[in-house]
Amino acid sequence: MGNIAGKKRIILTGLALLITLLLCVPAYAAQVPSFRLDMDSLNLSTGVSSTLVITLENAQGAQIKIIEGIENFDLMSQSSSSSTSIINGAATSQNTFYYTIMPTTVGQFTLKATIEYNGRTYETNELYVMVSDGSGSNYESAQDLFVKTALSHTEAYLGEKIVMTYVLYTRYNIEGYGFSDSVYVDGMIIKDMQSNQLKAEYAYVGGERYAMYEVIQYTIDPLQSGEYTIPSFNFRVDVLIDGGMGGGFGFFHSSTPMYIQTESKGVTIKPLPSAGKPPDFSGIVGELRLDGNFSRENINYGESFVLNVMASGTCNLDGFNKIVNVETPGFSAYETQKNTTESIENEKYHVQKVFDVIFVPERTGVISIPPIPVSYFSPVTEKYEVAEIQGVSIEVLGDMPHPASSGNGQSSAIETMRIEQVNYMMADDGYFSIQMKKEAVYGILIGLAVLLVLLIVLSWLRTSKKTQDATLKSLYKKIMSADDINEIFDLLSAVIKHCFRLSLKACSKNTIQSSLPDAALAAQLTEIMDYMESTKSCEPKGHLYLKDKIKSIYPVIVSTRI
């Protein structure tokens, strides 16, 4: 009887535990799925990002198929999170998707997401978004975060360097910042000055106090005259968010990315005037100063002296490589360039270039070196000017060597003998020798050198032609800015057709594999074709996967294209 009673107690205890566990199990099946679309603001401005949030509740495995109206925005970044909460034994699961978007045009737009879950199609609520123009000073004073594009001047002469500075204004606490795009303008050489003197200070805009950071400084050197537009570029700022375990002490913190666009700017580049242009124009545009210093003014014959020259100013000295442009009778001159220093001073470009000119006298006596002029064009006076190094008289001491004299006191000619060839080999020792004049040998060597130079130039032109394909660059740029996966694939097909005369849409995979010159490239393209035919291409991040694949094979396409 005792054993039976013990068994009953065990069974009852087990039933009680089972009932308790059942009561604690989350009741997912009893919950109704819901789908919601939210934004942090419905009044947006061009050039400023916003966050779009899609929340899926009690819908494990649901897929976002499409977001209607998203084509009017640039997708800057996306992320997701998931959570589960249990209240009174009922569990609620939640998957949240975050999209950082930036308007591309002004207008009123409707946003709505379509969801697939358990074989059925659902729609979220609709959001009506108003996008206004984000340019102008009123816009700046109304925003807590913006970037200004500052130019040293918006009108310049061809050859004059322009300084471009990007300045960030913020009323947030920030952790970091940087460009999301490459800063590039067709027809201009843009150089990062990599300055460690960038300012960070407070400034007032529209009566509001901002932290101001000079982000980066570039020099702009247009290749030809005309009207240029420096476009807007996407800029990312990591804004600090309070919270976490650190509280107000800041031991723990997180940040969220915000995207804004820089200002676009117009620049006018004027051609240099032909009137008054000197025949020996150096090509220098800007204000030029020359400082010259001769190391010695008295030397012995057989010695040398140095002219140290510093060329400086707000001018462009990129192509200035020669100081002495006049005849210096009585001297041989040898020039060397020592160093070049570029900087930004008071928001203007400044350069220093140092040269050494070594003079070797060819005779004794007092020999004059004439003034050394350098012509340049001054944007201030809008005339051609001349900077000059003062001339100097050099006393060359000592005696020059004299030719030997004969017994009667007159110079006698020194007879010389030239040995054309000395051959110590026997005629029948198995060797074959050829006698050639020096002139013929020099001619052959010069011909071989010219041929080698031509081969190098042809190879460079061939490589340059491959790397300077404007159509290919334009297609690739469109791919990197596109967000729709089908548009990206269409552009990739256009790239392959342009480079290899093959169509990814019309040709079979076997044709692609057998026709492309690179087997690895063919395999990658076949993998992309398989991906586009699969259901994975419908995933929210499908376009990002495709962009990464294209980015990895683009160098191979450039180097192997026909």
Of the candidates 520, 505, 530, 506, the residue with the CA atom closest to the CA atom of residue 555 = 520
Q: Where are the domains of the chain?
A: 34-132, 137-270, 284-397, 470-560
Tens of pLDDT, residue by residue over 126-140, are 999 988 887 654 445
Residue 19 is predicted with a pLDDT of 56
**Position 116 confidence tier, pLDDT thresholds 50, 70, 90:** very high
Domains 137-270 and 284-397 belong to one CATH topology: yes
Tens of pLDDT, residue by residue over 321-378, are 888 888 888 898 898 888 899 999 888 999 999 999 999 998 999 999 999 999 999 9
Tens of pLDDT, residue by residue over 149-198, are 999 999 999 999 999 999 999 998 988 899 988 888 889 999 998 877 78
Q: Name residues whose C-beta falls within 8 Å of residue 397's C-beta, 6 or more positions apart in sequence.
A: 298, 299, 300, 301, 364
At residue 243, does pLDDT exceed 60?
no
Number of neighbouring beta carbons within 10 Å of residue 479: 22
Tens of pLDDT, residue by residue over 39-96, are 877 888 887 888 899 999 888 889 999 999 999 988 888 888 888 877 766 778 889 9
* Ordered alpha helix ranges (H), 159-279: none
Q: What mean pLDDT do residues 407-419 have?
A: 43
Q: Are 72 and 104 in contact (CB under 8 A)?
A: yes
Q: Given this structure, which CATH class describes domain 34-132?
A: mainly beta
Q: What is the mean pLDDT of the chain?
A: 81
Q: Name residues whose C-beta falls within 8 Å of residue 159's C-beta, 6 or more positions apart in sequence.
A: 272, 283, 284, 285, 286, 316, 377
Residue 353 is predicted with a pLDDT of 93
**CA 221/CA 59 separation, integer angstroms:** 57
**Position 420 confidence tier, pLDDT thresholds 50, 70, 90:** very low
Q: In the 8-state DSSP scheme, what is residue 32? A: P
**CA 50/CA 256 separation, integer angstroms:** 11
Q: Specify the 3-state DSSP secondary structure of 92.
A: strand
Q: Name residues whose C-beta falls within 8 Å of residue 30's C-beta, 6 or more positions apart in sequence.
A: 90
Dihedral, CA atoms, 63, 65, 71, 77, nearest 10 degrees?
20
Residue 31 is predicted with a pLDDT of 72
Q: Are 294 and 390 in contact (CB under 8 A)?
A: no
Number of neighbouring beta carbons within 10 Å of residue 126: 12
Q: What percent of the chain has pLDDT over 90?
A: 34
Interaxial angle between packed helices 485-500 and 542-560, expressed in degrees from 0 to 180 and rounded to the nearest 10: 10
Residue 417 is predicted with a pLDDT of 33
**CA 369/CA 425 separation, integer angstroms:** 55
What is the CATH T-level fold of the domain 137-270, as seen in this structure? Immunoglobulin-like (2.60.40)
Residue 317 is predicted with a pLDDT of 92
68 phi and psi angles, rounded to 5 deg: -70, 135
User: Which residues, listed in sequence order, are joined to residue 80 by a DSSP beta bridge?
Assistant: 97
Of the candidates 27, 56, 36, the residue with the CA atom closest to the CA atom of residue 117 = 56
Number of continuous H segments (helices) and E segments (strands) in the chain: 8, 30
Q: Are 357 and 366 in contact (CB under 8 A)?
A: no
Q: Are 292 and 357 in contact (CB under 8 A)?
A: no
State the pTM of this model: 0.57
**CA 73/CA 52 separation, integer angstroms:** 11
CATH no. for 284-397: 2.60.40
User: Which residues, listed in sequence order, are joined to residue 441 by a DSSP beta bridge?
Assistant: none
Q: Are 68 and 113 in contact (CB under 8 A)?
A: yes
**CA 383/CA 157 separation, integer angstroms:** 12
Q: Name residues whose C-beta falls within 8 Å of residue 431's C-beta, 6 or more positions apart in sequence.
A: 425
Residue 136 is predicted with a pLDDT of 52
Q: Name residues whose C-beta falls within 8 Å of residue 337's C-beta, 6 or more positions apart in sequence.
A: 321, 353, 354, 355
User: In this structure, what token pair is assigned to residue 353?
Assistant: 């270039």
| Tally of residues, the chain | 562
